[in-house]
């Protein structure tokens, strides 16, 4: 048994970061208590419109550690040791006082959209609170009611942060990943980050259990944020034991502190199991393509599947070329955020299950008398040999199955356009290995549309009659 501390909504777009506050709380509390397990970074429903950032809450467990400890961070020149198990410490009130001091010191109270809260609980709220908060919408009242009698709740301002603070404590991981977060020295905050891109590539190749590090197509470093927050960079992966070594491969600005978080990032926990789908939900939708894709102003691509429009937005870049290649009859499955108005699915991932054959006219009919191709007389009007005047019906043209340039398999947006919670293809079941191949093919050949097929005389001759 341990004490569960949950914190949410302390940051703003202008700076700070709830995970930095977590390092300050860990630094303070580990002087008198032991850290139990990893600190947790819990992402909640990314579709909630009033959450402008990554919608991440933090949970820290403290107690009297039992068994061997392991190093999970370094803060202010001191290694942070964590224990697998622990006994509940005395003094919940005293712990809350210390947490309150730090929350009040570091939260962005002046930001009207920041409504901090923290909780110190002796017992986790029901798991249902987490699932509701990651997939749907939770009211403050509901979060309070299901957490009644489990400890102390401290809301500030309108107290909306209580929802995330309680939900982060309620998380019982089925699937999990880890992120080593590194932080900048105070004097470097809000200045440009110095990170050597070559070292990020080397790290990405040396540690295949990490993900979302680097976008090879656009040659972009993805481990560093662009906001003025104190984070220097974060490396995500499946194996926490290699993350410090991965961190040490990154060259450039030196982190002032680091801490490994256990997270629900990259797990698809936000994807609803099935209908009925609530507001702001992320769903799976499958069926046959009903229309040719349309391109909207701004470069967004829309295609209709089983009576729902799928939209791939411009920031998803080359991912749009997959959607553009779809034709009616293709079967697909998508994961995406459901938008009510206009009703559309914002694509996060797409599985091309099967594609239809598309015959395409590759040549006009052949006049064997004149050894010449006939000319078209207009749309659907047939053909005529200009030399001898012989007429040919529309069906006399030479058709061939064209290469679709689209292999069955899963496709995902480039690294920089992914959501924190989206499970990258790299983490999916080994049976999807072929999908990685499909994805690689796409990256090699980002060209749009259908590649032209060279006209083969043998094909034309066979169809001549």
- By the criterion CB under 5 A, which residues form the site for Zn ion? 367, 369-370, 385, 387-388, 390
Nearer to Zn ion, 232 or 397 (CB): 397
CA nearest to 310, candidates 348, 354, 355, 272: 348
CB of 387 to Zn ion, least distance (A): 5
Nearer to Zn ion, 135 or 384 (CB): 384
Decide: 265 and 53 in contact? Cβ < 8 Å.
no
H/E segment holding residue 250? none
CB of 374 to Zn ion, least distance (A): 7
CB of 459 to Zn ion, least distance (A): 20
Backbone angles phi, psi at 134, to 5 degrees: -90, -25
Strand partners of residue 60: 5
Nearer to Zn ion, 202 or 463 (CB): 463
Q: How many CB atoms lie within 10 A of CB 30?
A: 19
Measured at the CA of 265, the angle between CA 261 and CA 269, to 5 degrees, comes to 130
Nearer to Zn ion, 319 or 383 (CB): 383
In the block, tokens 């909640």 appear at: 44
Backbone angles phi, psi at 154, to 5 degrees: -125, 90
CB of 363 to Zn ion, least distance (A): 15
Nearer to Zn ion, 390 or 436 (CB): 390
CB of 465 to Zn ion, least distance (A): 15
Strand partners of residue 303: 310
Q: What is the dihedral of CA 253, 256, 262, 266, to 10 degrees?
A: -20
CB of 398 to Zn ion, least distance (A): 16
Nearer to Zn ion, 92 or 370 (CB): 370
Whole-angstrom distance, CA of residue 172 vs CA of residue 415 = 27
Integer CA distances (angstroms), 429 to 249, 432, 443, in order: 28, 6, 21
Please provide the DSSP assignment of 76-142 as one string. TTEEEEEEEEEEPPS-HHHHHHHHHHHHHHHS-TTSTT---EEEEESSPPPHHHHHHHHHS---HHH
Whole-angstrom distance, CA of residue 9 vs CA of residue 164 = 8
CA nearest to 344, candidates 305, 314, 293, 315: 305
Nearer to Zn ion, 205 or 369 (CB): 369
Nearer to Zn ion, 387 or 434 (CB): 387
CB of 357 to Zn ion, least distance (A): 31
Nearer to Zn ion, 441 or 464 (CB): 464
CA-atom Rg of the chain in angstroms: 28
Integer CA distances (angstroms), 21 to 29, 81, 348, in order: 12, 18, 30
CB of 386 to Zn ion, least distance (A): 8
- Preceding amide of 342 cis, omega within 30: yes
CB of 371 to Zn ion, least distance (A): 8
Nearer to Zn ion, 117 or 374 (CB): 374
CB of 365 to Zn ion, least distance (A): 10
């Amino acid at each position: 048994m341990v004490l569960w501390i949950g914190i949410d909504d302390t940051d703003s777009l202008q700076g700070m970061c709830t995970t930095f506050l977590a390092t300050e709380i860990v630094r303070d509390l580990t002087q008198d208590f032991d850290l139990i397990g990893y600190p947790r970074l819990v992402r909640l429903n990314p579709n909630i419109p009033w959450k402008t950032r990554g919608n991440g809450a933090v949970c820290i467990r403290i107690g009297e550690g039992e068994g061997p400890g392991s190093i999970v961070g370094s803060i202010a020149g001191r290694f942070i040791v964590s224990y697998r198990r622990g006994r509940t410490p005395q003094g919940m009130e005293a712990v809350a006082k210390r947490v309150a001091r730090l929350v009040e010191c570091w939260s962005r109270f002046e930001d009207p959209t920041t409504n901090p809260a923290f909780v110190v609980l002796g017992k986790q709220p029901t798991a249902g609170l987490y699932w509701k908060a990651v997939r749907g919408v939770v009211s403050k009242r509901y979060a309070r009611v299901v957490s009644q009698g489990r400890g102390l709740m401290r809301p500030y301002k309108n107290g909306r942060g209580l929802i995330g603070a309680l939900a982060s404590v309620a998380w019982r991981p089925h699937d999990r990943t880890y992120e080593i977060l590194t932080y900048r020295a105070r004097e470097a905050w809000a200045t440009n980050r110095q990170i050597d891109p070559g070292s990020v590539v080397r790290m990405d190749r040396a540690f295949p259990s990490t993900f979302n590090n680097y976008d090879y197509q656009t040659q972009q470093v993805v481990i560093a944020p662009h906001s003025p927050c104190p984070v220097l960079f974060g490396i995500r992966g499946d194996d926490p034991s290699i993350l410090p070594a991965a961190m040490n491969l990154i060259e450039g600005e030196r982190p002032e502190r680091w801490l490994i978080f256990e997270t629900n990032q990259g797990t698809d926990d936000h994807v609803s199991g099935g209908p009925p789908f609530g507001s702001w939900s992320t769903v799976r939708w499958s069926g046959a393509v009903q229309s040719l894709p349309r391109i909207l102003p701004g470069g967004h691509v829309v295609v209709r599947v089983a009576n729902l429009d799928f939209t791939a937005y411009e920031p998803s870049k080359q991912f749009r070329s997959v959607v553009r290649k779809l034709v009616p009859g293709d079967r697909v499955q998508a994961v995406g955020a459901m938008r009510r108005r206009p009703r559309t699915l914002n694509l996060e991932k797409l599985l091309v299950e099967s594609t239809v054959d598309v015959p395409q006219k590759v040549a006009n009919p052949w006049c064997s008398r004149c050894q010449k191709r006939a000319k078209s007389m207009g749309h659907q009007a047939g053909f005529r040999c200009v030399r001898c005047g012989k007429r040919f019906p529309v069906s006399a043209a030479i058709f061939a199955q064209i290469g679709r340039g689209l292999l069955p398999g899963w496709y995902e947006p480039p690294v920089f356009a992914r959501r924190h919670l989206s499970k990258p293809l790299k983490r999916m079941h080994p049976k999807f290995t072929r999908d990685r191949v499909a994805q690689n093919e796409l990256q090699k050949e980002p060209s749009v549309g259908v590649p032209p097929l060279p006209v083969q005389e043998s094909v034309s001759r066979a169809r001549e009659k």
